[in-house]
Amino acid sequence: MTVPTSAAGGQREAWGGVGPAATSSTASTAADVLLSVEGLDVELSGRTGGRVRVLDDVSFRVPRGRVVGIVGESGSGKTMLLRALMGILPEGATREWRQVLLDGRDVTTAMSRERLPAAMVFQDPMTSFNPLVRIGAHLTEVAQRFQRVGRRQATALAREALVAVRIPDPDRVLSRYPHELSGGMRQRAMIAMALLARPELLLADEPTTALDATIQAQILALLRTLQAERSLTVLIVTHDLAVVAAVCDEVLVMKDGRIVESGEVDRVFREPQHAYTRELLDAAPAAPSTGEEKS
Ligand SMILES: Nc1ncnc2c1ncn2[C@@H]1O[C@H](COP(=O)(O)OP(=O)(O)O)[C@@H](O)[C@H]1O
Ligand SMILES: [Mg+2]
């Protein structure tokens, strides 16, 4: 897939999109684009009163079947972007956009009610699990709600989902409470729960930040595998450029609520166009190179 590299001038792409259609001949026909968002603004009530704009004219496209990373310093609006898409912003938030296309369909006005075919994986699985409810009950509830099946079938689907995320002893895990699982197992269980919603688009907010390095690599490899097995489209937030290099096809770089650069990971890392992207790359512990740990 090609993404315009805006040539020598280092000019900011006006359309901060991944896989923009207008200038690309091969890529991103409408059918290739799962989600296209144009002009998304989000305002929150500030902690000291008043309104704070946390997303400012954010536009991007997510091509079908790709893994797109979102990077940027803490507070740049990454989490709010995912939450705006899912319709789970903090109370008092306002959300506006010029246009949203889903599968080429204009859902600009329906977006608030008609949810994306998306599910979200959070940084800390404990925020998604009720500590008093067993993993099995969490998973079967999602299966019943999203796949409209009865209890018995929902249990079978829940078990299947745990197998899909490579949990070796699904029956044992179904009967466990969230806190009884290791961090890695809990994150797998949360991914299983997300899968039970049958999403086309999987949103993941720093899904491995709370885990140690070995487990982190396993979870990332799992996400990549699931993406391929299920033709998922994945939007993954991370502050770790090595994660982007390892698992993402494309990247959006955010700063102060705006997308300042976007494109193929290889291109962006090799020839960053925006000063802020260069800063991020320079600040990374080891210069991330694409390709390593990709499997
Ligand atoms: N509940 C909230 N109320 C008000 N402001 C918030 C709230 N949550 C986050 N913010 C502010 O919104 C901005 C974006 O936050 P966030 O999307 O969480 O950043 P990131 O995920 O990139 O670290 C930050 O300036 C943050 O302080
Ligand atoms: Mg965040």
pLDDT for 114 beyond 90: no
Query: pLDDT (tens digit, 9 = 90+) per residue, 142-163?
Result: 999 999 999 999 999 999 999 9
Question: Tokens standing for 283?
Answer: 């600040």
Q: Determine the distance separating the centroid of ligand 1 and the alpha carbon of 215, expressed in angstroms.
A: 27
Q: Determine the distance separating the centroid of ligand 2 and the alpha carbon of 39, expressed in angstroms.
A: 21
Query: pLDDT (tens digit, 9 = 90+) per residue, 239-290?
Result: 889 999 999 999 999 999 999 999 999 999 999 999 999 999 998 876 555 5
Which sign does the torsion angle of CA 190, 95, 28, 278 carry?
negative
**Dist. CA 183–CA 211, nearest whole Å:** 7
Q: Quick one: pLDDT at residue 31? A: 61
Contact 87, 115 (CB under 8 A): yes
7 confidence band (pLDDT: 50, 70, 90): very low
Q: Whose CA is nearest to atom 24 of ligand 1?
A: 75
81 Cβ contact list (under 8 Å, min separation 6): 40, 42, 55, 58, 70, 237, 254
pLDDT for 190 beyond 80: yes
Mutate to test the pocket of ligand 1, among 55, 76, 127 (most ligand atoms within 8 A of CB): 76
Q: Quick one: pLDDT at residue 243? A: 92
Question: Tokens standing for 173?
Answer: 């895990």
Say if ligand 1 is within 6 A of residue 252 CB: no
**Dist. CA 246–CA 255, nearest whole Å:** 22
Q: Quick one: pLDDT at residue 255? A: 97
